[in-house]
Structure 1
Amino acid sequence: MSRTNESVPETGISRVHRLETPVEWPPGHAAAYLLGDEEPICVDAGMVGDEARAALFADLRDGGYEPADVEHLLLTHVHIDHVGGVRPLLETASPTVYAPAIARERLSRDLETVRSETRRNLTEAGLYGSGLERAVDGVLEIHEGIRAAFPLEDVDVWIDTDEPVSIAGRKFDPIYTPGHHVTHHCYGTDIDGARVLFAGDMVVEPFRAAAIHVNLTDGVRDGIDAYRDALERLDGRAFDRVYPGHGPVHDAYDETVAFALEDLADRLAECRDRVASVCAEEGSASAFDLAVDRTDHPRRQVMELREILAALGTLERRGQVRSRLEDGVRLYEPT
């Protein structure tokens, strides 16, 4: 199996093989899974790049499979660390590719529209000048990288939200779970008498994946609400084992969903308190002021803005903060 499986729980079911590829951010890996049915099914494809390709193929072979054995590829969402291995698998095998239908709409958007929306939202957040342009270019590179890694024309089956899908005779139940990403789906199925969830970047233990949702395009302020709705959609369901895209395989489904809901509530409270703190000194606060208050690393500040804008959007809809536009910048203060 993978190089780090000795430090995480085993998958628990012999027909499920964990495939890890390295990423630069914590926890240092992205996990895909090979379900060893008569027609092998791969859930997600790991990170992009030569190192990730080698790791993915090595883990397949450690599980007793050649890359060419993969007959089906099921994707949870279109982040680069989950679709990065799509092209290598397509070049090596001929899998039937299944992906959420919403990904087709999102990745078909005109990139100039994406750029325009990103610049407008970052301007409102308080960025300007060369810092603004660097941030816009960085976000567009992410969009372009995903499109290069994930060819829409090679998707064979577009999955409709909450409509069961049959793959080689196996029934998967898609659960639409946006917030971390607007395309995100978890997939429930039964294996050897156990109800299991291929969770992507939801129900990750022991942390909550960030509310990236639509990155910094229009809709960024809906990310926290979408995330909460997704968790509430998961809450109350029953799964014996969870196969997440990061962190260990686990059986703490209920506890992990509850933790993520609590963590979202804590994030909102923290954002509200930061608005009050900055306003006490400055009179008002931009989203970028809150990002600077959180970290002094420029790249991290832009990454933080996605959750900060989402939290501010929720807080304003709840009447806990109010905002006004001043010279193109949206300024917040507590109500």
Structure 2
Amino acid sequence: MTADVVRIGFGAGSPEGANSAYLLPERGVLIDPGPPGEAAFETLLSAIDDTGLALEDLEHVLVTHWHVDHAGSAPRIADAADATLWMGSDDAPLVREYATARDRRLDRDAAALRDWGVPDETVEAVVDGDTPSPMPDRTPVSDLHDGDVIAGLEVIDTSGHTRGHVAFHDRIADQGDHESDTYGGETRERDDDRSALFVGDAVLATYTPNVGGGDTRLEDPLSTYRRTLDRLDDRYDPETTTAYPGHGTPLDLDDRIGTIRDHHGERRGNVRDALTERSPDPATPWEIAEDLFGELYGIHAKMGAGEAASHLTDLVATGDARLVDEEPLRYVIDESAE
């Protein structure tokens, strides 16, 4: 009998951990097929074959969010298997219309970077360094919404890292004799009453997901992401739920959510301190990012400035800071809150 959850790992890893795709052979489901390219595609085919599942038995390809390290191989494997590709409705257009959506995204990213006070030469370097991925210009993608159920997996809105990020929850109870899972070649015994939660990049085992730079469509990414953490924390009991992240190994949901909350609490204090030190002069998100992280290049410029911007927006919402200019965005500490 094949195992219920089979992890497929890609690459040597990164600070986030090696990419993780998940195959549910008994459901004909593949989650987050990983990056594009021949190596990743051959890894997928080999893993599918190892389970005894025929490629044409793969019916559903589910993707948690549009980032290419998760969605890159989705169009190709879905086409090869004649499977339906599913994504959250807010992220689906970025794969469905990849070529035109990418152009719009680059324009949107450049505008956000300029709003954050990033110098023009750095903006140009970020945009120029964002090379196209080997994905089709157009791909059939079906939309998912919160509460939908596909092959026994419930769709959970987990926006924040991206606007359309979703997770998938599967009750493994009542699955007969499926009492183990295969994870990176290791078989682990599992209680029948446990459930599986595939969280993508909403919660990671060794890294705090970026909030702000990962998707510049979000107006208040930090508050959005906090609501996702609250929802996961309230809804899923770590004693009965195994969380499978988009990078690395299964994680303790409760511990990781607590660690991520602590991180953002500490980062909030750091942003507030940096803004206070610049007082009475206003500061842009870029200036605060440089104060926090030092020199920033390439993708790190977008991620760093975006995270600073998300925390500054949050400080304004709580009355600890004020927005005093919009071109670019400039903030000052609110002395009345002292």
Give me the TM-score of the superposition, normalised by structure 2.
0.80
Matched residue, 2:15: 26
CA offset at residue 113 of structure 1?
4.9
Counterpart amino acid of 1:223?
P
Equivalent pair of 1:174/1:186 in contact (CA under 8 Å): yes
Is residue 174 of structure 1 aligned with residue 155 of structure 2?
yes
How far apart in 1 are the matches of 2:120 and 2:86? 42
Bigger drift between 199-208 and 313-322 goes to 199-208
SS of 1:236's equivalent? helix
SS of 1:118's equivalent? helix
Matches for 1:91-110 after TM superposition, within 5 Å: 91-105=79-93
Matched residue, 1:90: 78
Matched residue, 1:204: 204
Is residue 76 of structure 1 aligned with residue 47 of structure 2?
no
Counterpart among 104, 108, 119 of residue 117 in structure 1: 108
Counterpart amino acid of 2:294?
T
Is residue 245 of structure 1 aligned with residue 246 of structure 2?
yes
How far apart in 2 are the matches of 1:71 and 1:302? 37
How far apart in 2 are the matches of 1:81 and 1:122? 23
How far apart in 1 are the matches of 2:284 and 2:107? 20
List alignment gaps of at least 5 residues for structure 2. Answer: 176-191
CA 1:211–1:173 in 2, change beyond 3 Å: closer, same or farther? same
CA 1:152–1:200 in 2, change beyond 3 Å: closer, same or farther? farther
Which whole-Å deviations, capped at 9, do the CAs of 1:103-133 have from their partners, x for residues lacking one?
2456667666544433332222222333222
Greater helix content: 1
Matches for 1:230-269 after TM superposition, within 5 Å: 230-237=228-235, 238=237, 239-250=240-251, 252-269=252-269
CA 1:33–1:288 in 2, change beyond 3 Å: closer, same or farther? same
How far apart in 2 are the matches of 1:111 and 1:98? 19
CA offset at residue 325 of structure 1?
2.1
Equivalent pair of 2:195/2:242 in contact (CA under 8 Å): yes
**How many percent identity over aligned positions?**
24
Counterpart among 8, 21, 28 of residue 40 in structure 1: 28
CA 1:306–1:199 in 2, change beyond 3 Å: closer, same or farther? same
Give me the TM-score of the superposition, normalised by structure 1.
0.81
CA offset at residue 212 of structure 1?
4.2
How far apart in 1 are the matches of 2:158 and 2:49? 32
Counterpart among 118, 121, 135 of residue 149 in structure 1: 135
How far apart in 2 are the matches of 1:91 and 1:330? 44
Bigger drift between 79-88 and 123-132 goes to 123-132
Matched residue, 1:333: 332
Is residue 158 of structure 1 aligned with residue 143 of structure 2?
yes
Equivalent pair of 1:178/1:213 in contact (CA under 8 Å): no
Counterpart amino acid of 1:234?
L
Matched residue, 1:195: 195
How far apart in 1 are the matches of 2:329 and 2:284? 6
Structure showing greater relative contact order (alpha-carbon pairs closer than 8 Å, 6 or more residues apart)? 2
CA offset at residue 182 of structure 1?
0.9
Counterpart among 32, 40, 47 of residue 52 in structure 1: 40
CA 1:69–1:22 in 2, change beyond 3 Å: closer, same or farther? farther
Matched residue, 2:222: 224
CA 1:61–1:270 in 2, change beyond 3 Å: closer, same or farther? farther
How far apart in 1 are the matches of 2:89 and 2:120? 37
Matched residue, 1:318: 318
Matched residue, 1:134: 125
CA offset at residue 289 of structure 1?
1.2
Which whole-Å deviations, capped at 9, do the CAs of 1:67-101 have from their partners, x for residues lacking one?
45422211111111111111331343211222212
How far apart in 2 are the matches of 1:23 and 1:100? 28
Counterpart amino acid of 1:177?
T
Which whole-Å deviations, capped at 9, do the CAs of 1:158-191 have from their partners, x for residues lacking one?
2122x23132xxx222110111111111111112
Which whole-Å deviations, capped at 9, do the CAs of 1:277-311 have from their partners, x for residues lacking one?
3x05x833221112222132322223211211111
CA 1:154–1:52 in 2, change beyond 3 Å: closer, same or farther? same
Equivalent pair of 1:23/1:47 in contact (CA under 8 Å): no
SS of 1:149's equivalent? coil
Matched residue, 2:189: none
CA offset at residue 197 of structure 1?
0.5
How far apart in 2 are the matches of 1:151 and 1:66? 28
CA 1:98–1:138 in 2, change beyond 3 Å: closer, same or farther? same
CA 1:290–1:257 in 2, change beyond 3 Å: closer, same or farther? same
SS of 1:134's equivalent? helix
Counterpart amino acid of 2:244?
Y
